[in-house]
Amino acid sequence: MFEKVLIANRGEIALRVLRACREMGIHTVAVHSTADAQAMHVRLADESVCIGPPSVRESYLNIPAILSAASITGADAIHPGLGFLSENADFAHMVEEHGLTFIGPTPEHIRMMGDKVIAKRIAQELGIPTVPGSDGAIGDIDVACKRAAEVLYPVLIKASGGGGGRGMKVANNEEELRALIPIAQGEAKAFFNNDEVYFEKYLDKPRHIEMQILGDGQGNAIHLGERDCSLQRSHQKILEEAPSPVLTTAQREEIGAIATAAIAKLNYRGAGTLEFLFQDGQFAFIEMNTRIQVEHPVSELISGIDLVQEQIRIAAGGTLDRTQADVVLRGHAIECRINAEHPLTFAPSPGLVTTYHAPGGYGVRIDSALYQGYRVPSQYDSLVSKLIVHGRDRRECIMRLRRALAEYVIAGIDTNIPLHQRLMDEPDFIAGDYDIHWLERFVATKLKE
C-alpha cells in the first residue's frame, strides 16, 4: 500500500480523498493555489505545497508544479480527484513516467473514453446500445444531412472532446444543421482544442441514468447499481438519487450485466461511470467518465462500499475482493449539490461565510470544505457542499432532506438551498416523475412565482 498520496485537487473532493487516505493510514499531501492557502484540504493535510497563483492554468492544471510537489514531498501516488487533470491521459502517463502511481485508469483507457466518438464506437463494439446519430465524427456535411434525415430531427450536435455540458447545439431541420455544424466545430476547437463534432438524435423526454462500475484491471468488474441524475440545469446535474425511481430490478440487472461485461472485457482499472439516456424503456449510452464523480456518495450509501478507498486499493495492485453477488443495495439515497449562487438568478456568489452550521443526525452526510470564516474564492467551481441522505426508502429520504435542508445555515453568501427546498415540495419530484428537461421548465415557469 502507498505511504503518501498527493491529492491534485481542491474543495470538497480533495477533502473526500484525504479522508479516505487517512482511514487507510496513508499520509496526505495537499497542493493549492495562493487563493486556497486557507482552504480546508490544506489545513487538514499532513503536508501542503503551494503550486501557483489563483488561475487554474497556473496551479491545478500546472503539471510540472504538481509533479515537483510530489517529488519534493516524496509522495508515491497521485489522486487526481475529478475535473482538472483527472481525465488528462498525458498527465496520467507523466505521473507513471516519474515512477509514481496514478490513482485511476490507464492512460490508454482515459484517452479512449475521452474522445466521445471513439467511446461510442467502442461501446457499440462491446454490445452496448448507443443513441442513434452520425457515423462517427462529421466530415462531409451532405453525408451528415442524409444521416440526420434517417434518424429524424431534432438532432443534437456535440463535441468529440466535449465535457461539462458545454457546446451542445440542437438542430431542428437540415437548414439549421448546415448552419450549426461549422459554428460547433469552431467552438469545439476553441474550448476543447479539437474541432471534431458529431450528432445524435435529440431525445425529448429521457432520464439520465448512469451505472457506477469498478474494475481491477485484471479482468474482474462489478457494478454498484445506477444513479438517476435527470435533474439538470444547462446540462449540469443538481440533484442525484439512487436507485432510480423508474428502473425495474430486471432493467437494472440487464444494463448492469452489459456494463460489467464490457468493463471486464476492456480490462478496465478503477472506478468509472457509464452514462446513458433512458427513454421508453430503452437505454442508450452517451459517454463514459473514467474517474470518481461528484455524485458518487449516493452509490456509497446504498452499497456500503467506499469508492475512493477502492480506487486507492486497486491502484496499489489490489484485486476486487467481492463479486456481483456480494453487492447488496439497500434503501435509497439522494444528494443535493449546494452551489454558491443566487437561488433564482443562479449568479455566482463567492465571498465570506459569516455563519456556518451543517445539519447532522441519522442518515445525513455532508461532503463540504466550508467552515465559518472561510472566503469562497471567485476563481473556481461554485459547488461548495454536498448534502447526501440515506433512508429506508425514497419517501424517508425526502422527509430527511426537508429537515436537513431546514437545519443548514450558510450565511454571508447566497446558496441554492432554497431551490432544493422548493424541489422537496414539488409533486412531480415527490412522485419521481421528471426527465432531463423538467428542471429547466420548472425554473422558467414555477420557480419565480
Contacting residues toward ligand ADP, per CB under 6 A? 131, 156, 162-166, 200-203, 206, 208, 232, 235, 275, 277, 286-287, 436
409-418 per-residue burial string, b: 16 or more CB within 10 A, e: under 16: ebebbbbbbe
Q: Which candidate, 54, 46, 104, places its Cα nearest to that of 75?
A: 46
Identify which of residues 100 and 155 has a Cβ nearer to ligand ADP in the complex: 155
Give the nearest distance from C-beta 64 to ligand ADP in angstroms.
28
Please name every residue paired with 239 in a beta bridge, in sequence order, or none if there are none: 231, 336
Would you tell me how many other CB atoms lie within 10 Å of the CB of residue 155? Answer: 28
Give the nearest distance from C-beta 207 to ligand ADP in angstroms.
9
For residue 351, which phi and psi values (nearest 5 degrees)? Answer: 135, -170
Identify which of residues 102 and 434 has a Cβ nearer to ligand ADP in the complex: 434
Identify which of residues 162 and 272 has a Cβ nearer to ligand ADP in the complex: 162
Please name every residue paired with 133 in a beta bridge, in sequence order, or none if there are none: 200
Identify which of residues 42 and 85 has a Cβ nearer to ligand ADP in the complex: 85
Evaluate whether 31 touches 62 at the Cβ level (below 8 Å): no
Would you tell me how many other CB atoms lie within 10 Å of the CB of residue 124? Answer: 12
Alpha helices (H) along 173-234: 174-192
Q: Give helix 307-315 / helix 11-23 axis angle, nearest 10°.
A: 70
Rounded-to-integer distance, Cα 257 and Cα 265, Å: 12
Give the nearest distance from C-beta 201 to ligand ADP in angstroms.
6
CA torsion sign for 116, 301, 341, 11 is: negative
Give the nearest distance from C-beta 320 to ligand ADP in angstroms.
26
Give the nearest distance from C-beta 74 to ligand ADP in angstroms.
36
Q: Which amino acid is at 87?
A: E
Catalytic: 291?
Answer: yes
Identify which of residues 131 and 177 has a Cβ nearer to ligand ADP in the complex: 131
Q: HSE of 309 in the Cβ direction (CA atoms, 13 Å)? A: 13
Give the nearest distance from C-beta 96 to ligand ADP in angstroms.
25
Evaluate whether 77 touches 54 at the Cβ level (below 8 Å): no
Identify which of residues 235 and 395 has a Cβ nearer to ligand ADP in the complex: 235
Give the nearest distance from C-beta 232 to ligand ADP in angstroms.
5
Q: How many residues does the chain have?
A: 449
Q: Which of 252, 269, 291, 394 is catalytic?
A: 291
Contacts for 106-115: CB closer than 8 Å, 24+ residues apart: 106/217, 106/269, 109/266, 109/268, 109/269, 109/290, 110/290, 113/87, 113/272, 113/287, 113/288, 113/289, 113/290, 114/87, 114/89, 114/161, 114/290, 115/160, 115/161, 115/194, 115/196
Identify which of residues 81 and 162 has a Cβ nearer to ligand ADP in the complex: 162
Would you call 51 helix, strand, or coil by DSSP?
Answer: strand
Catalytic (active-site) positions: 291
